[in-house]
Amino acid sequence: MGMNIVNSGNRFQVYGEDVKTYRELPVGSYNVDFHKMTGFFLSVRNDLAVMEEKIYGNSEYKVGKTLRSYRLTKRNFGVLLSGQKGIGKSLFVRLVAKRAIETGFPVIVVNQAIPGLADFISSIEQDCVVVFDEFEKTFAKQEHWNPQDEMLSLFDGTDGGHKLFIVTCNDLNDVSQYMLNRPGRFHYHFTMTPPSQEEVREYLTDKVLPEYSAAIEDVVNLSGVVDMPYDYLRAISFELNQGYSIKEVMSDLNITRVSDMKFDIQLYLSNGLCFEAWNETIDLSCHHARWVRVKRYRERGEGAVDNWPTEFGFEFSPAAAHMVGAEYIVNENIEIPDWDEDDFYDLPKEQAKAMSKAMNQLKAERVVLRRVANYGPVRYLV
């Protein structure tokens, strides 16, 4: 059995016949590992594969832009990807990795923070893609050491290298301020946003079976008030294809509770009167009638008291709402109460009769929903 002796400095290491030496790291995918006896090394890992048959949104455009810019530079080039989980950061990384392998660049994944890491990466003197996933977690500040500080000189490119650094994070608050607003370190900062309503519709049209497609518009509707990252859409389409109702899907999945959304509500009647309710919890996936008590309000100092009612309840179907701008509009199946003379007991009989007749001639023209995060300005009851 033969042996190979590898000399590095004053150290000689004995290996078997399978040892190979390279002038450059072969094309492939690697993890950065560390052993307290031998130090840093690279281990072979599976390529970051793109599993999606169709890419939605503008990820491919951004990837192309990144790789074109990287080829035009002569120094290290950084890209920062931020945004909530499941929104497309990992897909971006996988697309870059796939293109890099096809082009002939190795891909190196860093998933641990260890002193000396920056020097080890700098020692790899060739074009490559280096991925730091969930950077703010892996490189979280420790009691006596901030690993993010050590990486700044690497990202600066002062080592004379030409590497493409891809850094993803979920929370920018935990990322060093010296990495932000510094195009010399990170040329691009792509903030990944949820799919638009058109993209939600396109995705679900492709994924949801035809027999369950009636629920697609409900999900599109919800995406106007609830962020719908592709992780959500993937899970929703999976559930819909099993025949579950959209209400059950949104209730049972481990995602944002749409049933907890709060809205200001305005009911407009055919005579121009507007009645309002504030901070009502509305589930936009609900097809059943929702009862709401509304009141007439005015800003301080406006208008005069009249004989029209100041408060009553009505019903509408939240799932019938459709988005117009930043509002949700319902203009059908709105049920307002019937009135009789007894409802105007504080008026003379003839006036009460006239008012009940006038109220019963009114029609509900529309309901307007506006998402709120907290209580609005104080308004005054007429």
Contact between 117 and 137 (Cβ < 8 Å): no
Q: Are residues 304 and 157 in the same domain?
A: no
Contact between 275 and 312 (Cβ < 8 Å): yes
Q: Are residues 222 and 121 in the same domain?
A: no
- CB neighbourhood size of 322 (10 A): 14
Q: Are residues 32 and 175 in the same domain?
A: yes
Interatomic CA distance for residues 160 and 32, integer angstroms: 21
Is the pLDDT at 379 greater than 50? The verdict is: no
Contact between 221 and 247 (Cβ < 8 Å): no
Locate 17 and state its tokens. 């016949």
Locate 368 and state its tokens. 């307007």
- Helix/strand/coil for 224: coil
Query: Would you state the pLDDT for residue 29?
Result: 95
Domain termination residue (choose one: 139, 156, 191): 191
Is the pLDDT at 310 greater than 60? The verdict is: yes
Contact between 286 and 247 (Cβ < 8 Å): yes
Nearest CA to 253 out of 264, 244, 263 is that of: 244
Interatomic CA distance for residues 96 and 112, integer angstroms: 21
Locate 297 and state its tokens. 């309000």
Is the pLDDT at 375 greater than 70? The verdict is: no
Residue 257: pLDDT band with limits 50, 70, 90: low
Interatomic CA distance for residues 286 and 318, integer angstroms: 6
CATH of the domain at 135: 3.40.50.300
Of the candidate ranges 207-211, 220-224, 295-299, 352-356, the one whose mean pLDDT is the lowest: 295-299
What kind and span of H or E run contains 236?
A: helix 230-240
- Helix/strand/coil for 175: coil
Residue 380: pLDDT band with limits 50, 70, 90: very low
Q: Are residues 26 and 156 in the same domain?
A: yes
Q: Are residues 183 and 294 in the same domain?
A: no
Is the pLDDT at 298 greater than 60? The verdict is: no
CA–chain centroid gap for 344, Å, is: 51
Q: Are residues 28 and 172 in the same domain?
A: yes
Nearest CA to 229 out of 56, 370, 80 is that of: 56
Give percent of the chain above pLDDT 90: 43
CA distances from 227 to 79, 224, 256 (A): 24, 7, 8
Q: Are residues 81 and 140 in the same domain?
A: yes
Q: Are residues 201 and 184 in the same domain?
A: no
Q: Are residues 142 and 210 in the same domain?
A: no
Q: Are residues 144 and 243 in the same domain?
A: no
Q: Are residues 132 and 21 in the same domain?
A: yes
Query: Would you state the pLDDT for residue 132?
Result: 95
Q: Are residues 35 and 125 in the same domain?
A: yes
Is the pLDDT at 195 greater than 60? The verdict is: yes
Interatomic CA distance for residues 272 and 352, integer angstroms: 21
Query: Would you state the pLDDT for residue 382?
Result: 34
Report pLDDT digits (tens) over 169-190: 988 888 888 888 888 889 999 9
User: Using alpha carbons only, what angle is made at residue 58 by residues 249 and 130, rounded to the nearest 5 degrees?
Assistant: 100
Domain termination residue (choose one: 205, 227, 258): 258
How many structural domains is the chain composed of?
Answer: 3
Q: What is the DSSP string of 322-378?
A: EEETTEEEE-SS-B-----GGGGTTS-HHHHHHHHHHHHT--EEEEEEEE-SS----
CA distances from 255 to 92, 130, 199, 260 (A): 22, 31, 19, 12
Tell me the Ramachandran region of residue 214: left when phi exceeds 0, alpha when psi lies from -120 to 50, beta otherwise. alpha
Mean pLDDT, the chain, integer = 86
Report pLDDT digits (tens) over 311-349: 889 999 988 888 777 788 999 889 999 988 888 888 888
CA distances from 243 to 236, 247, 248, 252, 374 (A): 11, 12, 10, 14, 36
Locate 117 and state its tokens. 């890491």
List CB contacts of 174: < 8 A, sequence separation 6 or more. Answer: 136, 137, 140
Domain termination residue (choose one: 258, 285, 308): 258
CA–chain centroid gap for 301, Å, is: 43
Full residue range of the structural domain in which residue 171 is found? 4-191
